[in-house]
Amino acid sequence: MTTLLNEQLNYRDNQLQLESCNLSSVAQQVPTPFYGYSKARILQNTARCQAAFAAHNIDIHYAMKANSNLHILRLIGSQGLGVDTVSAGEIQRAIAAGIPAEQIIFSGVGKSAAEIRLALNTGIGQFNVESAEELALLGTLAQAHTQPVKVALRVNPDVAVNTHRHITTGTRGNKFGMPPEQALQLFRDYADHSCLNLCGLAMHIGSQICDAAPYGQAVSRLLALTKTLEAEDIHILCLDLGGGFGIDYGNGRSLSFSEVAAVIADTINTEVPEYDGKVVVEPGRSLIADAGLLVTRVNFVKEAEPRPFLILDAAMNDLMRPALYQAEHPLLPVRHTDDGGFRQLDVVGPVCESTDTFARDYPVPNDVQADDLMAFLCAGAYCSVMSNSYNSRDIAAEVLIDQDTFQVIRRPVSQDDLMAFED
Ligand code: LLP
């Protein structure tokens, strides 16, 4: 397993620090479990991503479903990125965080009429439409607007990717997008539409993909369609290639921004060198996952056969990914000792079901005991946003760390908060 310690995450004086902030000091002021994010790491990831894609003139829209905290959105937005949204709620958050409306793309397989109306009233930059049925509804609702609405059709390129089946989206039989032939027909049918300007093609083939080859294959399919349309005098002005770039969760596998950017650019330059429209990508996880931790406290070390349990105060409601995708998030002790060695434990949370298991047969320092702090790594993406209050647990706080200071960017959501909705 790679250690995943880095410039922002390291031990000093045997204490785990995010930037130069001691996590144990944060835990004295913020109840565990809590999510902690490194501001410097988010900015560094964003800058690396921008440099890699800007080299090929590719724009970036942050897929904010990965982490939609307003402070995180403002931080990423302040670097000039647009956003990819999938609900009215995300559009509202993007606007609240100061993202310009024209920098908002609205994706999603099941937009409701109310969501489409909100997006039209907001004046967002582009709709990524996933079906003939959605396009018809958008066409009707857009009649109330004077500005023509920019539309990209999401194509399902039917390429295989090597990731968990629950986060594969670009193969036949997935609910997402439409076959290229159907997109072609819709472009013809809507060529002279008075309110809809069909001018883009979109795709998103899955998430946590660690191999650039499927991007080449999928882009190739979009380009074939672009050429066919061009021959019919229908011009594609935007290719939105989605996100999905994998990060290292400790097994050493990831996809670098520069590698995927080069594959995309090479494919376009080889197959349609005359293409002069925009190219967009929508990374989520790769901008934020490794900037975040979930800090948790040990409730008990329960001696048991065949293996003891490390019972934490974090549960599947705070970190759903292991239960949903059998994901593994490395777990480190906040206080480091090198003398005692390790023993193998099953790492679980307190929720009353067996799926509340983070790892089995996992090496934990021998001297770990109740009340110790531990940290799950790579918890910046798809953790807080997927959290819930199952078992009537509070929803964990979020903290943004900047050098040796921290700011609570979401306070914990308590049972009093939640019960207030049930008056
Ligand atoms: N664009 C679209 C249209 C998407 O559906 C997604 C993610 C992205 C971009 C960003 O993908 P990323 O770069 O973050 O991989 N909850 C799962 C991940 C679900 C991803 C859904 N769509 C997880 O925890 O692994």
Element (H, E) at 62: strand 58-63
Question: Which is nearest to 246 in space by CA: 217, 287, 294, 203?
Answer: 287
**Residue 238 appears among annotated catalytic residues:** no
Residues 366-404: b if buried by 16+ CB within 10 A, e if exposed: eebeeebbbbbbbbbbbbbebbeeeeebbbbbbbbbbee
d(CA 161, CA 122): 35
Q: Is the CB of 83 under 6 A from ligand 1?
A: no
**Cα-to-centroid distance, 60 and ligand 1 (Å):** 14
**Cα-to-centroid distance, 45 and ligand 1 (Å):** 17
CA separation, residue 71 to residues 63, 151, 161, 401 (Å): 15, 29, 33, 12
CA angle, residues 377, 379, 384, in degrees to nearest 5: 150
Q: In the prediction, which pLDDT does 2 show? A: 58
Q: Is the CB of 107 under 6 A from ligand 1?
A: yes
Q: Tell me the pLDDT tens digit for each residue of 93-128.
A: 999 999 999 999 999 999 999 999 999 999 999 999
Given the CA of residue 283, which atom of ligand 1 is nearest to it? 13
For residues 293-316, give the mean pLDDT.
98
Report the 10 Å Cβ neighbour count for 69: 20
**Cα-to-centroid distance, 254 and ligand 1 (Å):** 15
Q: Is the CB of 240 under 6 A from ligand 1?
A: no
Q: Is the CB of 322 under 6 A from ligand 1?
A: no
For residues 268-286, give the mean pLDDT.
97
Task: State the alpha helices, DSSP H only, in 97-209.
Answer: 113-122, 132-142, 180-189
Report the 10 Å Cβ neighbour count for 128: 29
Does the structure show a pLDDT above 70 at 170?
no
Q: Which two tokens stand for residue 35?
A: 């999510």
**Cα-to-centroid distance, 326 and ligand 1 (Å):** 16
Q: What residues contact 375, with CB distance under 8 A and at least 6 apart?
A: 16, 23, 36, 293, 294, 295, 296, 331, 332, 334
Question: Which is nearest to 153 in space by CA: 65, 223, 283, 240?
Answer: 240
DSSP 8-state class, residue 165: G
Given the CA of residue 386, which atom of ligand 1 is nearest to it? 16
Q: From the candidates 238, 352, 378, 383, which is the catalytic residue?
A: 352
Q: Is the CB of 214 under 6 A from ligand 1?
A: no
Architecture of the structural domain at 9-38+289-422? Beta Barrel (2.40)
For residues 181-195, give the mean pLDDT.
96
Q: Which residue has the higher pLDDT, 245 or 176?
A: 245
Q: What is this structure's pTM?
A: 0.97
Report the 10 Å Cβ neighbour count for 114: 10
Beta pairing class for 15-18 and 21-22: antiparallel
CA–chain centroid gap for 329, Å, is 15
For residues 77, 78, 79, 83, the Cα torsion angle rounded to the nearest 10 degrees is 10
Does the structure show a pLDDT above 60 at 342?
yes
Q: Tell me the pLDDT tens digit for each residue of 2-26.
A: 579 999 999 999 999 999 999 999 9
Given the CA of residue 381, which atom of ligand 1 is nearest to it? 24
Q: What residues contact 270, with CB distance under 8 A and at least 6 apart?
A: none
Given the CA of residue 245, which atom of ligand 1 is nearest to it? 13
Q: What residues contact 359, with CB distance under 8 A and at least 6 apart?
A: 322, 328, 331, 346, 347
CA separation, residue 312 to residues 108, 357, 369, 393 (Å): 35, 10, 11, 13
Given the CA of residue 154, which atom of ligand 1 is nearest to it? 3
Q: Domain map of the chain by residue range?
A: 9-38+289-422, 107-283
Identify the CATH class of 107-283.
alpha beta
Q: Best substitution site from 86, 162, 282 to test ligand 1's pocket, by max atoms within 8 Å of Cβ?
A: 282
Which 3 state secondary structure label does DSSP give 313? Answer: coil
**Cα-to-centroid distance, 361 and ligand 1 (Å):** 29
Mean pLDDT (the chain, rounded): 96
Q: What are the phi and psi torsion angles at 177 (to 5°)?
A: 65, -165
Q: Is the CB of 284 under 6 A from ligand 1?
A: yes
Report the 10 Å Cβ neighbour count for 164: 15
Q: In the prediction, which pLDDT does 174 show? A: 84
